[in-house]
Amino acid sequence: MEKEKKMFLGVTGGIAAYKMPDFVRLLTKEGVDVHVVMTKNAEQFVTPAVLRTVSGNRVLTADWSHQDDPFDHLNISKEMDAALIAPATANFIAKMAHGIADDLLSTAVLALACPLYVAPAMNPRMLQNPAVMENLRILESRGIRIIPPESGAMACGEEGEGRLPALEQLRDILLATRARKQDFIGKRVIVTAGPTEEPIDPVRCLTNRSSGKMGTAIARAAATRGAQVTLIHGPVAIPLPAGMETVAVRTAREMLDALESRFEACDMLVMAAAVSDYRVASPIAKKMKKTDAPPTLALVQNPDLLEMFGKKKGRRVLVGFAAETEDMAHNAREKMRRKNLDLICANDVSRSDIGFGGAYNELVIIPRGQEPLHTGRLTKEALADIVLDEALKAGAAAFAASGGMK
């Protein structure tokens, strides 16, 4: 490593806190300098002495009287490369969402100026409580990265979503942040995300199950790496990233209009949106009423956005996505060839554990003229950086082949 990196680890009072010594060991093996802050309840599951031993650093606790410096909460939050709260309890998530600072950890979190990750871990029914879900949305809207919990058997005996992700996965997410360069500075990137809707009548529409999570993750990652980003999105119900131009559209033709007015000035277009292939030829002006005979809808093809911009992409980098249920690699390569893409990302939408609406995905990333990269199942946030890494490589290859920039 060219420089030892510093990580902030906040441990709160969930049972998964007992895993944190092993997690600290994983990070220190990578040469990371880990600084731990604990809540009082976390000490019921793991002792400060254990975390001090494995990290090699003084561990800050809720007992202010044992601190060496009255400004420990400020000093420990300085010059960190990344921060993680794990496990993050419902109580601590609520404190973060509402700016409550009533112990050393919650106070230190307010002073952090580095990428901050939160790994919720709790009973599935607690996780799905509307108050907890709303607090997570608040954090995400502020640019805090939520690492989605895994599904499985819980300590309480219940099954469901709420387990802390594998420690290796948490490590990889933090190391990716540590290694992230400002390699998109000066680049203008357009990302499309989410579904489109094609009206049938004023209350019904043709659409799909895309949540927009993959596209927004790519937009957020590109902005973090220094790009000037425009996110063009269909109807989504997720927090949108801050620090970029966001353009809301509904139909495929509205997305086309938004792209056409911006495409000329971009360096890279990532088409992660699931654009409707068809629209109703003549949408009905009034709400349809129930009748004995079901209505017949005449459909017409929407413009193929990828193909259109593939024809005029010039030296821009064009990245597409392929939602497949069979012969993924073959079908994706054919799509890349037909639409003149530099890179295509295929995923299996027949699987229930990845893809539409979920927090995880698994991609086969195929650069033009090269062997595919199989990512394995990862969070969409982690995949976003991999997609951008490969897009940069594809851009370098396109630049070399064309002999210059656009």
Query: Concatenated DSSP letters for 295-328?
Result: P---EEEPP-HHHHHHHT-TTSEEEEEEEESS-H
pLDDT at 65 (0 to 100): 60
d(CA 308, CA 317): 14
Which pTM was predicted?
Answer: 0.71
Point out which residues pair with 71 in neighbouring strands: none
In this structure, the strands spanning 82-88 and 116-120 are parallel
What are the Cα distances from residue 64, in Å, to 26, 73, 93, 103?
29, 10, 21, 8
pLDDT at 292 (0 to 100): 60
Per CATH, the homologous superfamily of domain 5-179 is Flavin prenyltransferase-like (3.40.50.1950)
150 half-sphere exposure, CB direction, 13 A CA radius: 14
User: Span 188-402: which CATH code?
Assistant: 3.40.50.10300
pLDDT at 9 (0 to 100): 97
The SS3 of residue 355 is coil
To which H or E segment does residue 280 belong? strand 278-280
Q: Length of the chain, please?
A: 406
Catalytic hit among 156, 205, 266, 345: 156
Q: pLDDT tens digits, the chain, 406 residues: what are they? A: 345 689 999 999 999 999 999 999 999 998 899 999 999 999 999 999 999 999 999 999 987 666 677 777 788 888 888 999 999 999 999 999 999 999 999 999 999 988 899 999 999 999 999 999 999 989 987 878 898 898 888 888 888 889 999 999 899 888 876 556 788 999 999 999 999 999 999 999 999 989 999 999 999 899 988 899 999 999 998 888 878 999 999 999 999 999 999 999 999 999 999 999 999 999 989 888 877 667 788 999 999 999 999 999 998 999 999 988 888 888 999 999 999 999 999 998 888 777 777 778 999 999 998 899 999 888 888 899 999 999 999 987 665 554 444 4
Determine the number of helices (DSSP H) and then strands (DSSP E) in the chain: 13, 19
d(CA 369, CA 318): 15
d(CA 60, CA 70): 12
266 assigned to active site: no
Residues forming CATH 3.40.50.1950 domain(s) in the chain:
5-179
Residues forming CATH 3.40.50.10300 domain(s) in the chain:
188-402
Neighbours of 286 (CB within 10 A): 8
| HEC letters along 153-185 | ECCCCCEEEEECCCHHHHHHHHHHHHHCCCCCC
Q: Is 224 exposed, middle or buried (0-12, 13-18, 19+ CB in 10 A)?
A: buried
In this structure, the strands spanning 360-367 and 343-348 are antiparallel
d(CA 58, CA 393): 42
